[in-house]
Amino acid sequence: MHANNIVSHLPGVFLKSVADCKPDDNWVHSLGIPVCASHHHQLLEDPEIEAVVIATPSDTHVEMIIAAAQAGKQIFCEKPVAFEAEEVATAITAVDEAGVQLQVGFNRRFDPDFLAVKAAVVAGRIGTPQIIRITNRDPLRPDLDFIPKSGGLFMDFSIHDFDSVRFLSGTEVEEVFAMGTVLIDPEIGKLGDIDTALITLRLTDGALCIIDLSRETHYGYDQQVEVFGSGGSISARNTTPTNTILCAAQGVYTDKPHYSFVERYEAAFVAELRSFFAGVREGTPPSVTGEDALAAVRIAQAAQQSREKNRPVKVIS
Amino acid sequence: MHANNIVSHLPGVFLKSVADCKPDDNWVHSLGIPVCASHHHQLLEDPEIEAVVIATPSDTHVEMIIAAAQAGKQIFCEKPVAFEAEEVATAITAVDEAGVQLQVGFNRRFDPDFLAVKAAVVAGRIGTPQIIRITNRDPLRPDLDFIPKSGGLFMDFSIHDFDSVRFLSGTEVEEVFAMGTVLIDPEIGKLGDIDTALITLRLTDGALCIIDLSRETHYGYDQQVEVFGSGGSISARNTTPTNTILCAAQGVYTDKPHYSFVERYEAAFVAELRSFFAGVREGTPPSVTGEDALAAVRIAQAAQQSREKNRPVKVIS
Amino acid sequence: MHANNIVSHLPGVFLKSVADCKPDDNWVHSLGIPVCASHHHQLLEDPEIEAVVIATPSDTHVEMIIAAAQAGKQIFCEKPVAFEAEEVATAITAVDEAGVQLQVGFNRRFDPDFLAVKAAVVAGRIGTPQIIRITNRDPLRPDLDFIPKSGGLFMDFSIHDFDSVRFLSGTEVEEVFAMGTVLIDPEIGKLGDIDTALITLRLTDGALCIIDLSRETHYGYDQQVEVFGSGGSISARNTTPTNTILCAAQGVYTDKPHYSFVERYEAAFVAELRSFFAGVREGTPPSVTGEDALAAVRIAQAAQQSREKNRPVKVIS
Amino acid sequence: MHANNIVSHLPGVFLKSVADCKPDDNWVHSLGIPVCASHHHQLLEDPEIEAVVIATPSDTHVEMIIAAAQAGKQIFCEKPVAFEAEEVATAITAVDEAGVQLQVGFNRRFDPDFLAVKAAVVAGRIGTPQIIRITNRDPLRPDLDFIPKSGGLFMDFSIHDFDSVRFLSGTEVEEVFAMGTVLIDPEIGKLGDIDTALITLRLTDGALCIIDLSRETHYGYDQQVEVFGSGGSISARNTTPTNTILCAAQGVYTDKPHYSFVERYEAAFVAELRSFFAGVREGTPPSVTGEDALAAVRIAQAAQQSREKNRPVKVIS
């Protein structure tokens, strides 16, 4: 998807090579990309390549960030950077020492609706934030194969929400209480994960947040956010493929939400890369930093601990 | 309001008397009610009076229920019946011993939108409930005078939501975690209460619930509920005075939600009394019982305790 | 319906008698109405009766208005007063000579949504009106028996819209062009009527209006109106029994519009009678006059003529 | 815009040259387009160029189509092809004789919402179409300079709607009645044009259509369409930049419609060119033909005549 987006939407960026452990030459060349590599070292060794986009399994991110940093490449890396705060810190250190930049793939920060919510908050249109509500629900449970390497519901899925809370509020998270359970598929439970959860957060400025999570809606990708404050409320509702409405004897139907993150955050995926490459070109700092990734991972860790111990847990800052 | 509703909307019910410690003869007679009493004993002693509606301050409810029960009257009582589970139990005992009926004023159970949500759940249109979300926000903070005698945010305000969770899910609450704070008015905090809260609940069947509470929206009475399940989601959105939409250079405006509980639950207030008097006439059991009141108070107590101790608390059943 | 509304919602009005050519004693008495009459003369001869509500077939209205006026009764009459402008004028004359008042049942003038649209127009929130759009569609074609005595689609059904145009714009209609056809049921055509039509109107101040009509939606009573002006647009959308939304794998469903005029204009039917009786009591002029009925009939006649001749027709004023 | 779209969104198409009577070399080269021409003959003489996109003033279209056809180029041409049916026919003849293809820029046919409406109609979800309603309103009146060369409101602006009626219904237009006026700017009237209109159409299958037109909304580009039929109704509502909702003491605000055709039909502008170039590559017939352009111009001519003579006018087929 990132390769497609660069080729189709970022005319000023030249995508020289894609590396994959199972490289698909035909597909790579069909996009007009000259080099199809089977190992990421081939990219890191190419002096023509200025920047890399890492979209590999999460448990390989830190190693690749360090290698890319040492090779002097500018780095865009998908979320989560790692499952442990210490590992994220290691990656940040490597990046800092190499003097390169790292942008993390918290794509919601580039979504037009999330940006409009943020803008309303910053403009003071809802006063001081008091309650933030986030709904994050996937259309279909993931393959069971994915569960063990996912990092768990909080680290893999809700990591976006932890970043959204920080982004929308402009504040840090102080304390977390998480209630989680297995309601969709007992197999997920046998693998040590959960599929349904509520996470309550207290921010350092006193505001409260609630995140509700589900791995399976059947009706599409449910992505809603509200910031309620002393002067009102601003919400981003679900987006839909079309804006049509059908009235018939059986009922009144509108479109279901976009089916998955691919359609829902289509514009955001392009915008985050546009921002990254603009930063590379102009030498400006990235809009989503390694520190942002670290903060989100620390919240996810506290949520995990809270659920296991069934008590609120302070977030390390 | 109840007197008005009986006179205007329940033609089969004859309202003989209204008792108030500061009786307003003119108003009572303008409604065509023959007797304006200054003490509730006058009603209880009147053999013509079959049933009473108690809408006094919450801390007088139990005493009045007991007196009415002993006088052999059928009883409708506003919520909360009491602030302590023991007191509610005492009222229930008195009612049972007298062989009369007690209906409690959980009016949301009679709201067309809540009923439609319940009907969808019962009909299996959303599968098995997994997450229930309730937003309950008042338009304007109450007078500070009211706070000390209110029973607190959970007992006074969220008591409706505790009943809604039980009503919509058909299940009991097992455990509660409440995070509360003072964000609207520090004076509320000085009086020992809070004005903003999140309450997370775990039901006995494993489903999770989240209630968000605020004492002040400025934009009206925010009353939303969603039941999300294994097959989809059913929500009741806010209702509005009109269904108009204004498009202008400054923006697109629709109506604000109804301003307060009076307008929002107008039909429900009539329907609960219609149900009560129908039960009295036909000798059928009330649709909202003393046991329902007791269950809600026990959840409120657990929520209160949870907030004070900052840990999850089991609900006594 | 009117009898029920008076009994249930207008506590200050005493409904003494209902006259019907096939009187239903049980029903009348169940409403607490003392006298069940078999001829309207019984009401007109009763000196205790101050005011009458005429809800008989349209072709009897004028005769009854004249009789009631001569008996000195205040009169509320359903629409249309008559199918010919001359007859309406005769009724007006009788009313004027008798010194009584006549209010006509254009109930939309009392609907909260239409009133909000009117208020926005009067307040200048949309500037000067330029285009008025009305959708008026019935859920189910009428019985074929009704067609011959209905007065036709324009006189029976669209008469409300002609009044709405005048009410919302505060202006008179100058010219009409009507395009009508039979698309729902050929039997309606055999009876000389149509079931589907578009009516274009030019107002005296230059604004344009369009009314679209259908006798059958299957999805409910479709009642929408928009006033578009030099500063924006105000619309009344359909109202629905509840405000719920169901998201499921099959789609997203909301409520259908209210099924028929009974539910859609429930509040308006009460409000028009409340206004009528308030006028009777206080001696103030009615809010919808015989002249309003006359104006609407003249537009309906012009529309009828336009359709027959397939050319625009000026409205007599 | 077309040049930008080709460069940014159609990776398989190589845009070799842009011709403009006032060529802007810098802009052309910034898009990576090699040749910046000052006359369209330069393109027609270039044997490497297979296809041309004509987006010049409407009164130059026919001449350019003929020249391009004679040069053997595949042709995409903006609407309207010409202001007279005879001229459009001449262009079609030239295209046919040259054996090239002509696609016309009726972009709404490629809009996701219009396509969903069409799909619902074709799938029979609303039964047989009976009433089509189109609202077409511009945000801001055009420059007065544009009026004389625009072809008039019907030819320039409503030409899209005439095509939409044919596209959505799959039927031809038989008769037209147009009521038009000047309500926005008297200067438009002095130039012989109108700025506000209602157009009523009768289709050959008996269905009726209504188009309402305005040159100025102030609140954005108002583009709504409904097809109502024997089984229900399908509508495309306005699209908005975001899906946010702001609740505040002053009211509830949602986004205004997209401001202009550029944003509203962004995806459609890309899709129509994608379709054109796919047709060129694969030798398949264009999805919007010269005959479609001819049909739309004939309806516009009938509408123009109807307004001038104030009577319905048959459309030549």
**Cβ separation of C252 and A222 shorter than 8 Å?**
no
Show residues of chain B in contact with C234, CB under 8 Å: 244-247
Q: What is the pLDDT of residue C23?
A: 85
Considering CB atoms only, which of B247, B255, B257 is closest to D256? Answer: B247
Which residues does D209 contact at the CB level (< 8 Å), separation at least 6? C198, D131, D132, D133, D134, D165, D169, D173, D199, D200, D201, D202, D203
Distances (CA, A) of A145 to A35, A61, A152, A187, B283: 31, 19, 12, 11, 59
Task: For residue A307, give the chain B residue with the closest CA.
Answer: B312
Residue A10, pLDDT > 90, answer no
Gap from D137 CA to chain C (nearest CA, Å): 11
Task: For residue A251, give the chain C residue with the closest CA.
Answer: C256
The angle formed by the CA atoms of residues D70, D76 and D81, to the nearest 5 degrees, is: 85
**Cβ separation of D235 and A241 shorter than 8 Å?**
no
Q: What is the pLDDT of residue D10?
A: 87
pLDDT band at A30 (very low <50, low <70, confident <90, very high): confident
Shortest CA distance to A223 belongs to which of D244, D57, C179? D244
Considering CB atoms only, which of C31, C113, C120 is closest to B246? Answer: C120
C100 touches chain B (CB under 8 A): no
Task: For residue B254, give the chain D residue with the closest CA.
Answer: D252
pLDDT in tens, D146-165: 999 999 999 999 999 999 99
pLDDT in tens, D51-84: 999 999 999 999 999 999 999 999 999 999 999 9
**Cβ separation of D233 and C222 shorter than 8 Å?**
yes
| Higher per-residue pLDDT: A107 or D24 | A107
Residue C153, pLDDT > 90, answer yes
Strands A244-248 and A196-203: unpaired
**Maximum Cα interatomic distance, chain A, rounded to a whole number of Å:** 66
Q: What is the pLDDT of residue C317?
A: 79
C87 touches chain B (CB under 8 A): no
Q: What is the ipTM of this complex?
A: 0.95
Lowest pLDDT segment from C28-42, D198-212, D235-249: C28-42
DSSP B297: H
A246 touches chain D (CB under 8 A): yes
A242 touches chain C (CB under 8 A): no
Q: What is the pLDDT of residue B30?
A: 86
Single pTM value for the model = 0.96
B247 touches chain D (CB under 8 A): yes
**Cβ separation of A242 and D125 shorter than 8 Å?**
no
Which residues does D107 contact at the CB level (< 8 Å), separation at least 6? D160, D265, D268, D269, D272
**Cβ separation of C222 and A254 shorter than 8 Å?**
no
Interface of D with C in 142-181 (CB under 8 A): 177, 179, 181
Shortest CA distance to B255 belongs to which of D174, C235, D63, C272? C235
Show residues of chain B in contact with A202, CB under 8 Å: 179, 181
Q: What is the pLDDT of residue C44?
A: 96
Q: Please report, for chain B, how many H helices and E strands are present, in that order.
A: 12, 14
Considering CB atoms only, which of A135, A198, A231 is closest to B208? Answer: A198
Show residues of chain B in contact with A311, CB under 8 Å: 311-312
Q: Which two tokens stand for residue A30?
A: 């069909």
Which chains have 3+ CB pairs within 8 A of A? B, C, D
Classify C239 as helix, strand or coil: coil
Local confidence pLDDT in tens for the 317 residues of chain B: 999 999 888 878 999 999 998 889 999 988 889 999 999 999 999 999 999 999 999 999 999 999 999 999 999 999 999 999 999 999 999 999 999 999 999 999 999 999 999 999 999 999 999 999 999 999 999 999 999 999 999 999 999 999 999 999 999 999 999 999 999 999 999 999 999 999 999 999 999 999 999 999 999 999 999 999 999 999 999 999 999 999 999 999 999 999 999 999 999 999 999 999 999 999 899 999 999 999 999 999 999 999 999 999 999 97
Q: What is the pLDDT of residue D133?
A: 98
**Cβ separation of B233 and A214 shorter than 8 Å?**
no
- Please give the average per-residue pLDDT across A39-52, as a whole number: 95
* Residue D34: cis peptide before it, omega within 30 degrees of 0: no
**Cβ separation of D131 and C231 shorter than 8 Å?**
no
C116 touches chain D (CB under 8 A): no
- Please give the average per-residue pLDDT across A222-232, as a whole number: 98
**Maximum Cα interatomic distance, chain D, rounded to a whole number of Å:** 67
Q: What is the pLDDT of residue B256?
A: 97
B279 touches chain D (CB under 8 A): no
Residue D110, pLDDT > 90, answer yes
pLDDT in tens, C196-237: 999 999 999 999 999 999 999 999 999 999 999 999 999 999
Gap from D75 CA to chain C (nearest CA, Å): 39
Classify D31 as helix, strand or coil: coil
Shortest CA distance to A244 belongs to which of D107, B256, B248, D121? D121
- Please give the average per-residue pLDDT across C21-34, as a whole number: 89
Choose from C10, C108, C222, C246 for mutation: most chain B CBs within 10 A.
C246
Choose from A137, A138, A175, A179 for mutation: most chain B CBs within 10 A.
A179
B249 touches chain C (CB under 8 A): yes
Distances (CA, A) of C83 to A134, A198, C91, C309: 59, 65, 12, 19
Residue D30, pLDDT > 90, answer no
Show residues of chain D in contact with B218, CB under 8 Å: 248-249
Tell me how crowded residue C170 is: count the other CB atoms within 10 A of its CB.
Answer: 12
Show residues of chain B in contact with C133, CB under 8 Å: none
Gap from C243 CA to chain A (nearest CA, Å): 12
Gap from C139 CA to chain A (nearest CA, Å): 9
Q: What is the pLDDT of residue C30?
A: 86
**Count of B–D CB contacts within 8 Å?**
44
pLDDT in tens, D196-239: 999 999 999 999 999 999 999 999 999 999 999 999 999 999 99
**Cβ separation of D184 and C233 shorter than 8 Å?**
no
pLDDT in tens, D32-50: 899 999 999 999 999 999 9
Considering CB atoms only, which of B177, B209, B218 is closest to A231? Answer: B218
Tokens 């097992």 appear where?
B174
Cα dihedral sign, B297-B298-B303-B305: positive
Task: For residue A5, give the chain D residue with the closest CA.
Answer: D9
**Cβ separation of C198 and D217 shorter than 8 Å?**
no
Task: For residue B314, give the chain A residue with the closest CA.
Answer: A310
Residue D241, pLDDT > 90, answer yes
B8 touches chain D (CB under 8 A): no
**Cβ separation of B116 and C242 shorter than 8 Å?**
yes
How far apart (Å, rounded) are the C-alpha atoms in residues B33 and B15?
Answer: 6
Tell me how crowded residue C267 is: count the other CB atoms within 10 A of its CB.
Answer: 15
Mean pLDDT taken over chain D: 96
Sheet with A51-54, edge to edge strand ranges: A51-54, A74-77, A102-104
Q: What is the pLDDT of residue B317?
A: 79
B236 touches chain C (CB under 8 A): yes
**Cβ separation of B206 and A228 shorter than 8 Å?**
no
> Is residue B216 within 8 Å of residue B203, measured between CB atoms?
no
Q: What is the pLDDT of residue D32?
A: 86
Q: What is the pLDDT of residue C73?
A: 97
pLDDT in tens, C78-108: 999 999 999 999 999 999 999 999 999 999 9
Q: What is the pLDDT of residue A11?
A: 78
- Please give the average per-residue pLDDT across A215-243, as a whole number: 97
A218 touches chain C (CB under 8 A): yes
Q: What is the pLDDT of residue B50?
A: 96
Q: What is the pLDDT of residue A294?
A: 97
> Is residue A91 within 8 Å of residue A290, measured between CB atoms?
yes
**Count of C–D CB contacts within 8 Å?**
100
Distances (CA, A) of B183 to A279, B141, B308: 39, 11, 17
pLDDT in tens, D164-186: 999 999 999 999 999 999 999 99
Considering CB atoms only, which of B251, B256, B257 is closest to D256? Answer: B251
**Cβ separation of B208 and A202 shorter than 8 Å?**
no
